[in-house]
Structure 1
Amino acid sequence: MTPAGPPVAVTGLGVLSALGPDVDRFTAALRAGRTAIARTEAHDALPYRAALSDEMLSEAVAAASLPPGALRRTSRPVRASLAVAGQAWRAAELHRRDLDPRRLAVVVGGNNLNGAQSAAAAGRLGRDPLLVPPRLALQYQDTDHVATLSAAFGIRGEGLTVGGASAGGNLALIQGARLVSWGVADACLVVGALAEPAPAELRSFLNLGAMVPTEGSGPGGPFDRSHRGFVHGPAAAAMVLERAAGAARHGVGVLAELAGHAATLDANSQPAPTVDGEADAMARAMASADLDPADVDLVSTHGTGSPLGDRIEADAIAQVFADASPLANAVKGLAGHALTAAGLVSAVAAVVQLRGGFAHPDPWLRTPIDGAPRLVGDTAVTAPLRWVVSNAFGFGGFNSAVVWRAAR
């Protein structure tokens, strides 16, 4: 197995989810096991959700201390990207450093981000074609996130979007780590963008059986026998990646290290995960970090709450770790499923748990499925974590895993 290259340092974090509009409040919610999932009758396709209000978005924007004019004529998803990027950018002290803008990069994880905006524009088109906003030609494209972020932060190096369904966040991290470890960029801003699907898209998830239905007493939870599908939880998250030596030269603290990663395909276009594909991604990621399964302290699972998805991931974890028994948890049980940003949200959760020395609880867990991993349960576990493996899997056979190491 080819090593992933020199470990890449995480120097900045940003997050916006129903658990909180910034890293501190997100971390506090994780530690307390406070779930944001609630039932709503507002729309048939949203029986349960972790709501992301305009007020919370405004708080996240305020916490970001964005450059003047950054928010001019932006869509809601792009505002969220700017908010989490600004948090991470300032945490990494990039606003204080004199770095060559041609050596700064930005990678945005996410695809089909603006379905709700496009659906609204289609309604306007039906009423009067002249009501369609001219800027829609720019804003419906996922690349609008890259363009706006580059303008706001003066990034003139490489920029790209990475799509991989629910694995998109992890895939963006992998691409960002490669740009840094290959020496293409001195620092890379990686953003898991807020996805706002059209109502028809959400209804399709429900009809497919992937999303929790309205019937029943509750949404269940990842790896619990009551699980019936994922709960939609819109969110965005960001990280700044750079070489540890570069951070040290500028006196910037390292929050954690991205020590290994892997991404694979199942050669299958259907929403049908495979044990071998998921196990292979985890095993390759650990091998790239020169890490033995017995050394892993925590697996941050993909854990959507889908009966098929949970069963496959549980079997894959058992296959990879065999006699080892790392702790496991699922941030989606607290924050809901952020779709294409899910990998970045889980990554931020992994880093704050490494730094805080805790594994967050799984409040929905009551009766684990047979063969479930060693889930944390109702109360956070306090422990000096060293290594975390974070999984993200997507419809269409996208498998990914990222290895995180505590800062040394």
Structure 2
Amino acid sequence: MKVVVTGMGVVCSIAGSVPEFAVALREGRCGIGPVPGDGDGGPRLAATVKGFSFAGAVAALTCLPEELRQGAARAAHRSPEALQMDLVSAMQAFGHAGLHENAPPADRMGLVVAGHNLSSGYVHDMVPKYQDHPEYLPASFAIQYMDTDRVGRLSQVLGIKGEGYTVGGASASGNVGIVNGSRLVEAGAVDLCLVVGATTDLSPMEKRGFATLGAVAGAGTDEPERVRCRPFDERHEGFVPGQGSACVVLESEASARARGAEVLAELAGYDLKLDANSLPDPNEDGEAKVMTGAMEMAGVEPGQIDYVNAHATATPLGDEIEVRALGRVFGPDIGKPWVNSTKGLVGHCMCAAGVVEAVASIIQLRDGFVHPNLNLRRPIDDGCRFVRGAAQPADIQYALSNSFGFGGFNTSIVLRRPSHAPGTHG
């Protein structure tokens, strides 16, 4: 069964909607900047969403019925901001897919929330209240600290009554969600599935833990403004945490055709495999296997891939292993596909990263360009066709998007441009 994408939504540091995201990607806009430090040695750089207003974002979705928008405001106006961002991106995708006008029965729509340990920051912020006056801890805490609250709130607002659950795979969670959502559709369990890459609300302890691990850029420095996110550059210094949420609507081609929905892209292939490794170190063999597996499922050869949205977090070992895996997979065709990393613009959106980057890949695939790799001055490899400091026109028929996670999670998806979508030769 062919699975297609019929709706998208995004909230991140450089955009509050898909049209804004498309402009920001083409311009190479960067949402990364210094954050105030308190001497704990944690990350001093981040890509945060500034000026987010849940009420304003919901009110801006004028394509959706007033009743739906009012229901969203009632359901989530006192919820943590992270959940509110997820709801906005999901509502955007719901409207983009035209589900407010013509949708399958409620029990034929599914929901997968990609992410785990999503609310640690919220729990941390509630600790002082609990310590001072345990009896004043709000009753809503018992629900809102759980990852499944995202499923409950989203399904309530959007009226989704089919299968639903959360999935996790560390930084690969977004792609794990896309794989599971596609399988629900392929199995006939649902006609369509919303896959939400959930906003990860990190606690100070988690941020400090990443810094102690040596994985983040700018940890412990007194001059964070001098540090940069540099995927693929010899001076890469580690990843930069990003704040964001994204949603894609995965739907059977038959359902999309019956609804008259526009097909944005086809999810042509995917693969997900473990390394049998609990450590954070990447594995070249595992990464190469999932890229090859995704292409085999899509029925394409390496030479047919036009673009790779790399996992590329700007950690020295991670970037180098991924480039070596790309070399194994593409062989003599390694110089053909454009390669970039969206994390250089929006930071590492943690559990949401795979879905944010799937949206970025579809935008580039449909609009015929590839966004720049900012701060790439001295590439770690001369064979890859890295996008440099400015967007380039690109005729993309097939795109490969990678996501890898601590604990040996390897994932890759292949997206195909529908025949009617515009492309730019270049």
Cα distance per residue 1:200-243 (max 9 Å; x no partner):
10011011111112436222410111111101111000011101
Work out whether 1:30 is the aligned partner of 2:25.
Answer: yes
How has the CA–CA distance of structure 1 residues 372 and 274 changed in structure 2, closer, same or farther, with 3 Å as cutoff? farther
Aligned with 1:156 (options 156, 161, 164): 161
CA contact (8 A) 1:275 1:315 kept: yes
Identity of aligned residues (%): 43
Equivalence for 1:50: 47
Cα distance per residue 1:361-408 (max 9 Å; x no partner):
111111111356321101111122100000000000000001000012
Structure 1 CA distance for aligned equivalents of residues 330 and 57 of structure 2: 38
1:59 CA displacement: 4.7
The 5 Å alignment of 1:9-408 reads 9-44=4-39, 45-55=42-52, 59-64=56-61, 65=64, 66-71=68-73, 72=75, 73-214=78-219, 215=221, 217-324=226-333, 325=335, 326-370=337-381, 373-408=384-419
Structure 2 CA distance for aligned equivalents of residues 29 and 302 of structure 1: 19
Structure 1 CA distance for aligned equivalents of residues 55 and 263 of structure 2: 28
The AA in structure 1 aligned to 2:288 is A
Structure 2: gaps spanning 5 or more residues: 420-426
Structure 2 CA distance for aligned equivalents of residues 289 and 236 of structure 1: 27
Query: Partner of 2:165: helix, strand, or coil?
Result: strand
Equivalence for 2:423: none
Structure 1 CA distance for aligned equivalents of residues 325 and 382 of structure 2: 10
Cα distance per residue 1:336-372 (max 9 Å; x no partner):
0000100000000010001100111111111111356
Structure 1 CA distance for aligned equivalents of residues 232 and 87 of structure 2: 34
How has the CA–CA distance of structure 1 residues 400 and 113 changed in structure 2, closer, same or farther, with 3 Å as cutoff? same
How has the CA–CA distance of structure 1 residues 36 and 103 changed in structure 2, closer, same or farther, with 3 Å as cutoff? same
Structure 2 CA distance for aligned equivalents of residues 280 and 195 of structure 1: 28
Cα distance per residue 1:31-74 (max 9 Å; x no partner):
01111111223445231111212436555433444532323332
**Alignment TM-score, normalising by the size of structure 2:** 0.92
The AA in structure 2 aligned to 1:303 is A
CA contact (8 A) 1:16 1:60 kept: no
- Bigger Cα displacement from structure 2, 346-355 vs 362-371: 362-371
- Bigger Cα displacement from structure 2, 177-186 vs 62-71: 62-71
CA contact (8 A) 1:84 1:238 kept: yes
- Bigger Cα displacement from structure 2, 131-140 vs 102-111: 131-140
CA contact (8 A) 2:218 2:227 kept: no
Question: Cα RMSD between the aligned structures?
Answer: 1.4
CA contact (8 A) 2:311 2:402 kept: yes
How has the CA–CA distance of structure 1 residues 60 and 41 changed in structure 2, closer, same or farther, with 3 Å as cutoff? same
Structure 1 CA distance for aligned equivalents of residues 57 and 22 of structure 2: 15
How many matched pairs? 403
Structure 1 CA distance for aligned equivalents of residues 135 and 28 of structure 2: 49
Structure 1 CA distance for aligned equivalents of residues 342 and 38 of structure 2: 24
CA contact (8 A) 2:229 2:239 kept: no
CA contact (8 A) 2:229 2:240 kept: no
**Alignment TM-score, normalising by the size of structure 1:** 0.96
CA contact (8 A) 2:58 2:69 kept: no
Structure 2 CA distance for aligned equivalents of residues 23 and 346 of structure 1: 12
Structure 1: gaps spanning 5 or more residues: 1-5
Query: Partner of 2:399: helix, strand, or coil?
Result: strand
- Bigger Cα displacement from structure 2, 306-315 vs 206-215: 206-215
1:182 CA displacement: 1.4
Structure 2 CA distance for aligned equivalents of residues 282 and 98 of structure 1: 34
